[in-house]
Amino acid sequence: MTNRETIQASEITNMPPIQKEYSLPQKWDFRLLEEYLLALARGPEYLLSKNEYPQEMQINSFMHNVFNRMRSLTRRDGVERWSMMGFKEDKRALYAQKAPVKGKNSEVPLWVISKELTKGRIKGIEPISETHSHPSDIIAEFQHLFLIICGRSIGFSEDDIYYFLKRKFLFMDGVATSRNNYLAFKSKETRQLNEVGYCYSLLHNPKEAAKLNQVVVYKGEIGKDLARLAF
């Protein structure tokens, strides 16, 4: 995959699974988030339980720039963008796209995503996270307002949650909206779609879908740290 930038990471080759008795801080800096993702590169057995995730999450300037660039491009033409983050065989650093790919007005087609994943794998990069933008046209803003009024808004759509869970190799998902950044994480309790199936919510409720499938979601204003959503 072209236009990649390496994010320096601490070496965690011998890092054991995080045990419940180990007390994690309630606010993670990017270094801890990075080490967690690189631990997950070794397998889902390193997933934390839902109640072990922190209350706040800090991302670095590079991730903020990924969100901001997607948001800016989508504001310009109303078209969603998508990018991925991954790791190489040594699992000592994260690699992220500098240039997001262009989708359509309301989605990034699966064939586009598949093509980008294949490009990365050809270069020896296995995906662990993806990020996409949501348009802010009149219809999208009305739908978002409706979800807020009904108490269902978490930034992600229910389809976003479904495809995040469907891709077993992904452990973190991101969304850039017109006003906020969002991150979602699988947990140890998250349902595996190939084993027990997806829990659908009623009446298009993304918040309930995330809750039913044990997904942890964070929200932050542009340029700010992210706080965990309560549900």
Q: Give the domain CATH number at 188.
A: 3.40.140
pLDDT at residue 136, rounded to an integer: 72
What number is the average pLDDT over the span 29-40?
94
Q: Judge whether 19 lies within some domain.
A: no
Residue 210's domain comprises 4-9+25-228
With 70 as the cut, is the pLDDT of residue 113 above it?
A: yes
Q: Judge whether 98 lies within some domain.
A: yes
pLDDT > 70 in the chain, percent: 77
pLDDT tens digits, one per residue of 153-173: 678 988 898 889 888 899 999
Q: Judge whether 20 lies within some domain.
A: no
With 50 as the cut, is the pLDDT of residue 8 above it?
A: no
pLDDT tens digits, one per residue of 172-198: 999 999 889 999 999 999 976 544 455
With 70 as the cut, is the pLDDT of residue 215 above it?
A: yes
pLDDT > 90 in the chain, percent: 52
CA-based nearest residue to 74, from 48, 100, 92, 46 = 100
> Quick one: pLDDT band at residue 213, thresholds 50, 70, 90?
confident
Q: Judge whether 150 lies within some domain.
A: yes
Rg of the chain over all Cα atoms, to the nearest angstrom: 17
The total number of structural domains in the chain stands at: 1
Q: Judge whether 152 lies within some domain.
A: yes
- How far apart, in whole angstroms, are the C-alpha atoms of residue 150 and residue 116? 36
Token couple for 18: 């995080």
Which range of 13-22, 105-114, 126-135 scores highest in mean pLDDT? It is 126-135
Q: Judge whether 162 lies within some domain.
A: yes
Q: Judge whether 197 lies within some domain.
A: yes
Q: Judge whether 62 lies within some domain.
A: yes
Q: pTM for the whole thing?
A: 0.82
